Amino acid sequence: MESLPIGAVGVLLVSILLFLALRRSKQRPPLPPGPKGLPLIGNLLDMPTHYPWKTYVEWGRRYCSDVVHIQLLGFHLVVINTARSAAELLDKKSTIYSDRPWLTMMCDLANHADWDIALMSNNARWKASRVQYQRVLSSERSKQWRRKQTLAAYAFGRSLLDAPGELFKHTRYSVGSNILNVTYDIHALPNGDPWINLAERANEIGNAAISPGSYLVDVFPKLKYLPSWFPGTGFKRDALEFKKVGESLLHDPYDHAKRMMLTRNNEESIVSELLGELDDSATAEQRREVEMTTKRSTSVLYGAGAETNVAALNTFFLAMLLYPDVQENARKEVSRVTKEGRLPDFSDDLPYIRAIAKECLRWRPPVPLGIPHRVTQDDVGLGYRIPKGSIVAGNIWAILHDEHVYPHTSEFDPNRFMGSDPNPDPDAVFGFGRRICPGRFFAIDALWIMIATTVAAFDIEKALDADGRVEEPTAQYTSGFQSRPLPFKCTIKPRTLEMALLVRLTAPDST
C-alpha cells in the first residue's frame, strides 16, 4: 500500500487540530455579554462616570442578561443585576467568591489590607474577625447594645430641638458618636471631637481611594516603583497620609478603651466584651493575637456602619418631605403605642416604622455597587464563563429596584414590607455571601430607633424661602462609591410643647 506524502500528512494533522480546537471552543461557555471593546484598552472608553449602577442596568436590558461583562486593560469586571444571579454566584459559591480585589494604593502602599477587614483577602485574619463579629453583633447579641442606641436617639432628638437647621451635622454626629460609644466606650464631644474627626478622615480616605479610577497606580501597579520625585507620583504622598491615618484608627481608639478598662471606670463596649473573654490561662502570644484581632475587627466598624446609617437617616428625612402621607401614618402608629406620654423604645411593636427603615435602605441604597468581590478560580455559572481573578460586583441598586420584585420601585412605599405577602427584605444592601456586613442587625436597630424617636417628637416639613414660598428639595444623590443625599433644606419642629419638654427630660447629658 502506498504511503501518504509528507505534505498530505501535515495537512491532515493541521485539519484534525483545527477541528479539535473548534470543537473545544464551541463547548467552552462564553463570557457574559457586554459592550464590544477596543484592542488593548478593552472597554475603558465605555466605563460610566456618573451613576454607573444605572448604566449596568441598561446594559443588562440591552443584552437580555442578568449579568454583564466588561474588560479593562486585561482585567475582567462582571456585574450582577438580579438577586437570583447574585445568590447563584456570591452566596451559593461563596467559597470562591469571597476574596477582595487587590488595590495597589490602599492594600499595598497604604498597607490597609493588613488590618482593614473590608479590604482584606479571604485569609485567616479575616476569618478570625468574622468569628468575633458573631460573638458581639449576631442577631441576638446585637440586642445588648439597644440601651446605648436608645440614648443616642434621644440625644439626637435634643440636638434637633437645639439647632433644627443643622440636620446633616446632627445625623453625622449622632450616628458616629453612638458607634464610637458602643465600640470603644468613647463619649464624643458635641463639637470638634478628635475621635470623630479621625474616623471621618479615615472614611473620606476610604471612599475616595476605593472609587473606580481614583488612582492610576491601581490600573498600572508598576507605577509604585517610580521614585517620589518623579512627576505624577503624588499618590505616594497620599499613601503616606493614608497609612498614618489608618494606623491611628487601628490603635488609638482601642488603646483608649483598654485604658478605660484598666481604671475599671468603663461601661460595656465591644472591646471590653471581646477582651473579657480572655481567661487567666491564655499565654502571652494568645493575648497578643486576640488583641490584634480585636483591633482589626473594631477599627472597621465606624467606616462600615457610620456612612451607611448617616445616608439612610438623611434619606428618611428627604422621604418624609416628599411623602408626607408616610410621615402621618408613622406618627399615628407611634402615638397609638406610646399614647404620646413617652418616647418609643425597643419594647414597642412598631412594624410600620421598621418598614420605613427597610424602605430607606431599598429606595436609595447607600453603597449602590457594594464592595466588589474577586473570584479565586475559573468558574462557570449562569451559563457563562467567569475567569479566575475577575472582579465581581453585585449591583445592589439594580437588585433593589427590580420591578419584578419591588413593583413601582421608584416610589417610597413602606407598605411593600407589610401585610401577609410582603416584598423581600432589602438584605442585598448589606452585601452577599461570607462578605455580608456583620453589623447589619446593629445598623437596622440604630436606624429604627432614630426614626421612631423623630416621628414621635417632630414634624418634618418643606422649608419656605424669604417670600414664604415652598422650597422643593433637590432629591439628588452623589455618584461615588457611596451615594448620599445632597444637602437639602427642611423645617423640623416639635409636634407639641409637651413633646419638646419630653425630649429635653429624656435625653441624656451625653451618649
Q: Is residue 22 part of a domain?
A: no
Domain range spanning residue 248? 29-506
Angle at CA 323, nearest 5°, toward 320 and 327?
50
Q: Which residues of the chain have pLDDT under 50?
A: 1-2, 4, 25, 511
Burial class (CB in 10 A: 0-12, 13-18, 19+), 22: exposed
Q: Is residue 365 part of a domain?
A: yes
Q: Are strands 75-80 and 391-394 parallel, antiparallel or unpaired?
A: parallel
Q: Is residue 8 part of a domain?
A: no
d(CA 179, CA 270): 10
* Residue labelled with grid coordinates 484598552: 41
d(CA 327, CA 460): 8
Q: Is residue 328 part of a domain?
A: yes
In the chain, the amino acid numbered 213 is G
Residue 375 half-sphere exposure toward CB, CA atoms < 13 A: 24
Residue 511's pLDDT is 44
Q: How many domains does the chain have?
A: 1
Q: Which residues lie closer than 8 Å to 172 by C-beta, 6 or more apart? A: 200, 306, 310
What is the rounded end-to-end Cα distance, in angstroms, of the chain?
Answer: 98
DSSP class of residue 348 equals: S
d(CA 11, CA 235): 56
Q: Is residue 24 part of a domain?
A: no
d(CA 185, CA 63): 52
Residue 57's pLDDT is 97
Residue 470's pLDDT is 92
- CATH number of domain containing 483: 1.10.630.10
Angle at CA 333, nearest 5°, toward 332 and 337?
110
